[in-house]
Amino acid sequence: GSPSETTQYILSVTNSTGCTSQDTVLVIVNPRNEYTFTLSPSIVSIIPGQQFQTTLNIPNGVQSWKAHLDYDNLIVKFRSIAQMSNGISATAIEKNGTLSISGMGDNGTILMVFNSFLPYTTDTTFSMKLTVDSATIQPCETVISTGSTLELGIFCGRRIRTVSSTGKNYFLTNKENGVNFGVGLPGNVRLELYDYTGTLKEILADGNMEAGEYSLDFDLPIGVYFCRINSGMYNDVQKMIVVQ
């Protein structure tokens, strides 16, 4: 077989009269060329309800290629390709949390825009995996890829989680150490937390939310609290007892 790295061989030949001769052969193996496709930045801060951007970097020397991104399609939706540099042309199609991208051109970038949504779980980091499906390279060359990590940014309502996006009713109900609430129509939602004396402790949320059902868990000392919701014409106050 062929050596995987530069190797020196010593050949010995003995003829019929018993004389031996030696020769040295050096087999040089050139390093394998690597073409790296990357997403940047490596860590992206996302705020649910806001758009974020990520850049696909195409290496020099790969004239045509196909790749795909995998992510949680409940919190990320592809919006558009905003910009392409250095004559690169590409198309992108999203289906079930996979964004397939195919293009022509090298040594450039593709700037993509995504929409973000509230998570359904308590996770605060999510992966955006990049896989290169095919690329026009030589037989002894390889392609590697590096994706991104999406991190939930700091925002008002960071502890709120989506329960269902199909709800169409306004409501506010207490649960153990938290509340569940519903938003009937898209619009501004303000949630306020008061202690038993009626003093405002925290604004839990104050911003646009989609129609749906949501859950919010509190990290509070044991005691009696009141939660108030205000959204459009809907107002309600619920008493809560934290028993952690």
Rounded to an integer, the average pLDDT of 3-12 is 76
Sorted by where each starts, the structural domains of the chain and their CATH numbers stand as 34-152 (2.60.40.680), 160-242 (2.60.40.3080)
Taking a C-beta distance cutoff of 8 angstroms, is the pair 173, 181 a contact? Answer: yes
| Residues in CB range of 44: below 8 A, 6 or more apart | 52, 54, 128, 148, 149, 150, 151
31 pLDDT tier (thresholds 50, 70, 90)? low
Rounded to an integer, the average pLDDT of 184-206 is 93
* Residue 66: pLDDT over 90: yes
CA 59 vs CA 64, 66, 132, 149, 153: distances in Å: 11, 13, 12, 21, 30
Instruction: Please state the pTM of the whole predicted model.
Output: 0.76
pLDDT of res. 18: 78
Token pair for residue 121? 């779980």
E strand map for 4-73: 7-14, 20-27, 34-40, 43-46, 51-58, 64-70
Rounded to an integer, the average pLDDT of 16-23 is 82
Q: Is the dihedral of CA 237, 238, 239, 241 positive or negative?
A: negative
Pairing state between β 34-40 and 89-95: unpaired
pLDDT of res. 140: 72
* Residue 223: pLDDT over 80: yes
pLDDT of res. 228: 96
pLDDT of res. 53: 97
For the chain, percent of residues with pLDDT exceeding 70 = 96
pLDDT digits (tens, 9 = 90+) for 103-118: 999 999 999 999 998 8
E strand map for 160-233: 160-164, 171-175, 178-183, 187-195, 200-209, 212-217, 223-231
How far, in Å, CA of 230 to CA of 220, rounded?
22
pLDDT of res. 28: 67
pLDDT digits (tens, 9 = 90+) for 134-146: 888 777 778 889 9
Rounded to an integer, the average pLDDT of 6-32 is 77
* Residue 32: pLDDT over 80: no
Residue 120 backbone zone (phi > 0: left; psi -120 to 50: alpha; other: beta): alpha
pLDDT digits (tens, 9 = 90+) for 115-132: 998 898 888 999 999 999
* Residue 29: pLDDT over 70: no
pLDDT of res. 103: 95
Residue of 153, 101, 100, 98 whose CA lies nearest to 124? 153
pLDDT of res. 84: 97
Rounded to an integer, the average pLDDT of 53-82 is 95
pLDDT of res. 101: 97
pLDDT of res. 150: 94
Residue of 27, 49, 53 whose CA lies nearest to 40? 53
